[in-house]
Amino acid sequence: MYTDAMKAGIVGASGYTGVELLRLLAGHPDIDIAVATAHSHAGLMVGEHTPSLAAAYPGLAYEAADPELLDGLDLVFCALPHGESQKFVPELMGRVGLIVDLAADFRLRDPSLYATWYGEAHVAPEVLGQAVFGLPELFRDQLSGATLIASAGCYPTAAGLALAPLVRAGLVESSGIIVDAASGVSGAGRAPKEALHFGTVDEDFVAYGLLNHRHTPEMEQILGAQVLFTPHLAPMVRGILATCYVRPMAGAGTLSTADVMGALHQAYDAEPFVVVTDAPPSTKATAGSNTAHVTARVDERTGWVLALCALDNLVKGASGQAIQCANAALGLPETTGLPLGGMYP
């Protein structure tokens, strides 16, 4: 465990996840930001680009990304677009103590899946085996002492937290799982896109990525199960609500709501960042926090099991989870510097 504040860098600090890392780490007692890179904004003060951070970082300016600039840091968060981390991280390895990557570049164990789901071969497949998967509630035993962490994606985190206890307990089938999830527009990043204009998104609700969304193999890897995933874009800034449908395990007897809720309570009652709730989870209840809310039901009429999870896609679904993973890897309490409570109203 570190006794002095660690020096950290953020690569890609001007995007939504990078800005959220800066916001959260401003209150972390054991981590100080030494370097924030943003290639297209190099030389610009962080507070000029994102005024909400002006008081927290009055003297910090964005710099161009350069592995030598990060040399010797205790910790580096990579908040780059998909495809960029796999080019940058190999140059960074050995220069810093711990790398936490928020992109999908090192999440999948099978390198062939990148060509199938991301449309291009992985450029550093030899590094995949050195990365550990970052979803502490489900894979905590892999994090201690890690030097490269691939923090889980937002949709897979929501689906994994809702379903993994049920799959692992043998209560439900591991095939034919349906994940129907909606996300706020911040999940698509900060870069301007016509599909994300206010006039396009407001008063609209649309499905996308039908049958081929790239988070599908990550969900299947987390669960060890077959998943049909349909994402939706909701007219809100933050939040994910995942509604998941799965069949009870054949031949296991009658399954009840008490059984599935019991599995969730057993998995999460000792977890600070997961609330098992009898009420339907709400994205508003999780906004700004690193906390996920989950629940489950068994519908005796149709025979389906229903599992739901709500979380903030930028916190528990991205930057907060990355910090939680870093805390675990570095021997700090996982809650250090992270908000348990959400913003309301």
The closest of 133, 144, 91, 83 to 108, measured between CA atoms, is 133
Map residue 305 onto helix, strand or coil.
Answer: strand
CB burial of residue 282 (10 Å; 0-12, 13-18, 19+): middle
Is the separation of the CB atoms in 156 and 219 below 8 Å? yes
**Location of structure tokens 């997961």:** 274
Q: Enter the DSSP assignment of 224.
A: T
Is the separation of the CB atoms in 305 and 247 below 8 Å? yes
The closest of 108, 71, 114 to 91, measured between CA atoms, is 71
Distance CA 277, CA 289 (A): 16
Distance CA 329, CA 345 (A): 34
The closest of 33, 125, 139, 23 to 76, measured between CA atoms, is 33
| Catalytic residue positions, numbered | 154
Q: How many CB atoms lie within 10 A of CB 46?
A: 25
Distance CA 163, CA 337 (A): 28
